[in-house]
Structure 1
Amino acid sequence: MLLGEMAPALLTARFQESVTANALRAYLAEFISTFFYVFAVIGSAMASRKLISDAATDPSSLVLVAIANTFALSSSVYIAANVSGGHVNPAVTFGMAVGGHISVPTAMFYWVSQMLASVMACLLLKVTTVGQHVPTFTIANEMTGFGASMVEGVLAFALVYTVYAAGDPRTGPLGVIGPLAIGLMAGAMVLAAGPFSGGSINPALAFGSAVVAGRFKNQAVYWVGPLIGAAVAGLLYDNVVFPGQAASVSGRGNSEGIGL
């Protein structure tokens, strides 16, 4: 009976922590950073299609998007790191939640902020470019949905593992190197898998473009794989590679009241 009474009380306490002033600032920080990240990545894909006649098969288009991904993610993580931890990605948030570095209610609010920001960024691009087609993430014809999901899972694993390592207090202060390392890893993963699975790595990125374009084919690929890869990365880092760490790797910023 006592356990039955404790569970609702714990859930209520967690929810209250997720609606404090600090928590609301964290959600706003996630919205802003995710908005600019998605705007840069999707915008770069749209720009390449406008400047290159056959962007789908031109290697320079892939390089352009990878560079935009690197710069945008590094900057987006940096500007939000001291407030929300700079997740900018539902997969990163999921990995942190599975590892116990962020509460489930807070993670859900992070997801809402990230996905809303992605939709708004893609919508703004569509409106301001006078209805130009908003590209969505697609898998190669020779790949299956399962194979593409596995590829996206590996990409997310690499990204979230880098996030954990960059935010580990035992490696010293985050500074500028941490966000840069995260961005470089994302850019490298886009170069490696872009032509095969699309190289989204970020469920919010794929979701926002799909909503605005009205095309949800293979959308599960960009959720199932990355979420599993992120969870495995977080659990592996905390429990196998660097077990028994003293401080939260996601506590790079102000963690008071936001369940970090």
Structure 2
Amino acid sequence: MLLQMVGHVSGAHVNPAVTLGRLLRGGFGAWAAAGYLVAQLAGALLGYRLLLAVTPSSASCECTTVPAAALSPLQALLVEAAGTAGLVLQCHASWDGHQAGVASLQFGFYMAAISLALGPYTGGSLNPARSLAPAFWTGIWTYHWVYWAGPLLGSVAATLLYLLPLGGRASAADAPPAATPSNDNKAPVGGKCIVPAVCL
């Protein structure tokens, strides 16, 4: 649903791991990535604080992501890395135009399935910003580093796995669109696409 609402505005990046994958892919500047990171962390912190404000005191609203007691930190890291790698692989396919018209459904199904699969192990965060907010407001930092290292490592691994077979070549989707004659006066700005590629 988020893709449908804001994908055409910002690309719907709400995950630092996804933004890292886009940055490593190329065609996405470091300053833009830094801006996205600030927005992601600020949005998560403000959003969770709002959730706390509207939640009745009788209800539990920790929402912290903590590895299961039986899991070692390394196992938790691998779980988060693997889940995030799958997400970022989908992002790369989307950026290449292989999911045109159905990206929202595919991402929705993936996130629903992976959350059910990984939830009992690590909470299925796959997103450092999502894990930071409840940890910040509740003070529960148990193995919090796992929720940064795992997703970011998974993003790097997925990006290398996706791009290396292609020789590191950027896809046609990453190339600036050619200026074409138009009667509606909507020419590209500086020959570059204004809206970043869509992904979670």
Q: TM-score range by the shorter chain?
A: 0.7 to 0.9
Supply the AA of the counterpart residue of 1:79. M
Higher helix proportion (structure 1 or 2):
1
Give the CA deviation at 1:209. 1.4
Give the counterpart of 2:143 among 213, 218, 221: 218
Are the aligned partners of 2:65 and 2:125 in contact in 1 as well (CA < 8 Å)? Answer: yes
For 2:164, what is the secondary structure of its paired residue?
helix
Corresponding residue for residue 192 of structure 1: 117
1:82 is paired with a residue of what secondary structure?
helix
> Deviation of residue 168 (structure 1)?
1.5
Match of 1:83, SS state, is helix
1:243 positional shift: 5.5
8 Å Cα contact 1:135-1:213 kept in structure 2: no
Is residue 106–residue 259 contact of structure 1 (8 Å, CA) maintained in 2? no
Other-structure match for 2:46: 120
TM normalised by structure 1 equals 0.63
Secondary structure of residue in 1 paired with 2:174: coil
Amino acid aligned to 2:82: V
- CA deviations on 1:190-213 (whole Å, 9 max, x unpaired) are 111110121101111101111122
Aligned to 1:183: 108
In the TM superposition, what is the alpha-carbon distance from 1:80 to its structure 2 partner?
Answer: 2.2
Name structure 2 gaps, 5 residues minimum.
178-188
Structure number with greater CO (CA < 8 Å, separation at least 6) is 2
- Where does residue 84 of structure 2 map in the other structure? 156
- Matched residue, 2:8: 82
Provide the rounded CA distance (Å) in 2 between the counterparts of 1:95 and 1:134. 29
CA-based RMSD: 2.4
Is 1:134 matched up with 2:51?
no
Structure 2 equivalent of residue 209 of structure 1: 134
Do structure 1's residue 238 and structure 2's residue 197 form an aligned pair? Answer: no
User: How many Å apart are 1:91 and its aligned residue?
Assistant: 0.6
In structure 2, distance between residues paired with 1:130 and 1:155: 32
SS of 1:233's equivalent in the other structure is helix
Judged with a 3 Å threshold, the aligned counterparts in structure 2 of structure 1 residues 241 and 199 are, in CA distance, closer, same or farther, namely farther
Closer/same/farther in 2, CA of residues 101 and 180 from structure 1, 3 Å limit: farther
Number of residue pairs the alignment of both structures matches:
180
**Aligned-residue offset at 1:189:** 1.0
Under a length normalisation based on structure 2, what TM-score does the superposition of the two structures give? Answer: 0.81
Q: What is the one-letter code of the residue matched to 1:99?
A: R
Which residue identity lines up with residue 74 of structure 2 in the other structure? F
Letter in 2 for 1:87: H
Aligned twin of 1:167? 95
Number of the residue aligned with 1:54: none
Structure 1: gaps spanning 5 or more residues: 1-74
Do 2:20 and 2:152's aligned partners in 1 also have CA atoms closer than 8 Å? yes
SS at match of 2:173: coil
- Which of 108, 111, 117 is matched with 2:37 structurally? 111
